[in-house]
Amino acid sequence: MTRHTIEGLEVLSCLPDKKSARPPLLFIHGAFAGAWMWSETFMPFLAAAGYPCHALSLRGHGDSHGRERIDWHSVTDYVDDVGTVIDWLGETPVLIGHSMGGFIVQKFLERHTVPGAALVCSVPPQGLIASQFHLMFQKPQLFAEINGIMAGNYTDTETLREALFAGDIDEAMLAAWLTRMQSESQRALWDMSMFNLPNLHAMHRPPMLILGAEQDVLVPAFLVQTTAHTYGLPCHIFRGMGHAVTHEKEWPLVAAMLRDWLATLRP
């Protein structure tokens, strides 16, 4: 794993052992996270399958610039960050977005074409409001805790476990995740709620893979199905998993489905 700084943006790269003709992959993280969420699981798995893997930390996240202005970064800013990294790559990658990252992918497609896009537990094109109401009624205490995180207050491992995971998880990993979490841009959250939803008529629609998790409390499976229906595509819902499919114990099942889908894309 190598680390680059591209115009102030942190980019992690994991490359195959041998030069590959397969397209590069660009991973885009969700809210409260950074490029690190891909680096221990999906990136080495897919690099071993021959794909050059790159993950960026959006501005204000990870070791990228702009942490002091996190609340003012917009979805448009995040889309621009993706464009900056693609310009640096010099080749258009397949985009893989988790949660908020999936929303950013959809917004990027309004102005750009890519060889493929995977939406993993993604915020749907209709925005966050349905998931927020679902969480508020189903798990009001967790809803209150997440609002606290948005305000910059730190949480504990039990809240994190309930929000992100469904199966048995490694306690050391959970503790490490907690230390890496951060506040999210209030402006971006409002953009994803109602103010800057994807323009479906403007989008360039590449081959898309839509994945969700059966026990996801942040982007419930029914909303992943809504995303799939919007794009006229099937989706796959992984049983017994929560929102953080990159770190559930059965994460290789998700990575393998990504690998198999990638193999179907035209060069």
**Residues 64-116 pLDDT 10s:** 999 999 989 999 999 999 999 999 999 999 999 999 999 999 999 999 999 99
- Residue in this structure with the two tokens 């060889």, named with its chain if needed: 115
Q: Comparing C-alpha atoms, which of 51, 117, 49 is closest to residue 82? A: 117
CATH of 2-262, one of 3.30.1330.10, 3.40.50.1820, 3.20.20.70, 3.40.50.970: 3.40.50.1820
What whole-number percentage of the chain has pLDDT above 70? 93
Longest alpha-carbon distance in the chain: 51
Q: How far apart are CA 17 and CA 124, in angstroms?
A: 36
Neighbouring C-beta atoms of residue 1, cutoff 10 Å: 14
Mean pLDDT of all residues in 36-46: 97
Please report where in the chains the tokens 């915020």 appear, as a residue: 123
Which residues, in sequence order, are CB contacts of 102 under 8 Å at separation 6+? 28, 30, 119, 120, 121, 122, 123
- Please, what is the average pLDDT of the chain? 92
Q: What is the pTM of this model?
A: 0.95
Write down the pLDDT at residue 146: 66
Residues 210-256 pLDDT 10s: 999 999 999 999 999 999 999 999 999 999 999 999 999 999 999 99
More confident of the two residues 143 and 98: 98
Q: How far apart are the first and last CA of the chain?
A: 25
